[in-house]
Amino acid sequence: MNSGNPLMRYAALSIAAAIVTLTLRWLAWWLTGSVGLLSDALEGFVNLGAALMAMSMLRIAAQPPTAQHPYGRSKAEYFAAGIEGTLIVIAAASIISAALPRLLAPRPLETPALGLALSALAAAMNFAVALILMRAGRQHHSITLEADGRHLMTDVWTSAGVVVGVAVVWLTGWLVLDPLIAIAVGLHIVWAGVGLMRRSVLGLLDVAIPEADLHEIGKIFTEYSKRYGVSFHALRTRQAGARRFVSFHLLVPDEWTVRRAHRLSEEIESRIRSLVPNASLETHIEPISDPASYDDQTLDRP
């Protein structure tokens, strides 16, 4: 993938934002000594690691098919989502381990106003970048960009909670709230990390394409069945990163020529491609009245 590819530009934006916000967060923690803000700073390392991983996996996923990888390497994006989820869980463990000792020995905050301002600025930057990445992920059907954007949006909400909580500590003097906030942040991002890992595993296990896309394919099958007296079965779909793979059997009247059946299959495939983004189609044509045509509807033919 060359540097002019829009996905790489979005990944570069994510890396740049991660570096800037990480710097702001660590400065906020250094100024205040707040373990709540420390939890925010530790998650900044996750953001940077996730952004670097996203760029690496996007580069691999964009490589063209080869003899050894005839379907390409689009599944590399799932590794990015899985590793990002793992990093989130590790960061959460670090946050909680740093917060627990403060429950027994709370510490007062130092220069909290400046620290909170820096942390709020970092959260605002992440919010803007998260919106850009999620929109780009949907537009380009990239699970990597979408996962990175969703992670950043989760980070924004946890940062907002940290800022509000630390502000309450500062205003009320309830020092025990500081580590409690950090622990709550840690538990929250564990949930986000597990969700990303689950999505990664489902993708590697060849999950079907979204229900909405399946519904559109079903409508096309119904339309052509009524128009031409054909039938369909053995519809199978799977996702591999941005790619969608769709295969089905087209059963045509016995008197049809191969040429006519092929033309119809090409028309149907073109319709499906117009509705299912990045779809790779494979059609198997069979005579509709031959009993043998109905023996291979399952994945493992008897």
Residue whose token pair is 């959460």: 92
Confidence of residue 273 (pLDDT cuts 50, 70, 90): very high
Looking at the chain, the whole-number percentage of residues with pLDDT higher than 70 is 90
pLDDT tens, residue by residue, 52-99: 877 877 787 777 777 777 777 777 767 766 777 777 777 777 777 767
Domain spans of the chain, in order of start: 6-204, 211-294
Segment 30-55 mean pLDDT: 77
Q: What would you report as the CA-atom Rg of the chain, rounded to the nearest whole angstrom?
A: 25
pLDDT tens, residue by residue, 221-256: 999 999 999 999 999 998 876 678 899 999 999 999
Contacts of 255 (CB under 8 A, 6+ apart): none
The pLDDT, as a whole number, for residue 1 is 42
| Choice between 229 and 209, residue whose per-residue pLDDT is larger | 229
* Dist. CA 22–CA 49, nearest whole Å: 11
Which residue type occupies 89? V
Per-residue pLDDT for 3 more than 60? no
Taking CA 242 as the corner, what is the angle to CA 90 and CA 275, rounded to the nearest 5 degrees? 140
Look up the CATH architecture of domain 211-294.
2-Layer Sandwich (3.30)
Sheet of 243-252, strands arranged across: 231-240, 243-252, 279-287
> How is 261-296 classified by DSSP, letter by letter?
HHHHHHHHHHHHHHHSTTEEEEEEEEETT-GGGGS-
pLDDT tens, residue by residue, 100-157: 776 777 666 667 778 888 888 988 999 999 999 988 888 877 777 877 787 788 778 7
Largest distance between two CA atoms of the chain: 86
Same fold, 6-204 and 211-294: no
| Choice between 203 and 8, residue whose per-residue pLDDT is larger | 8
Which residues lie across from 280 on neighbouring strands? 245
The pLDDT, as a whole number, for residue 108 is 67
Segment 17-46 mean pLDDT: 82
| CATH domain 6-204 topology | Alpha-lytic protease prodomain-like (1.20.1510)
Segment 41-59 mean pLDDT: 78
φ/ψ of residue 65, rounded to 5? -60, 150
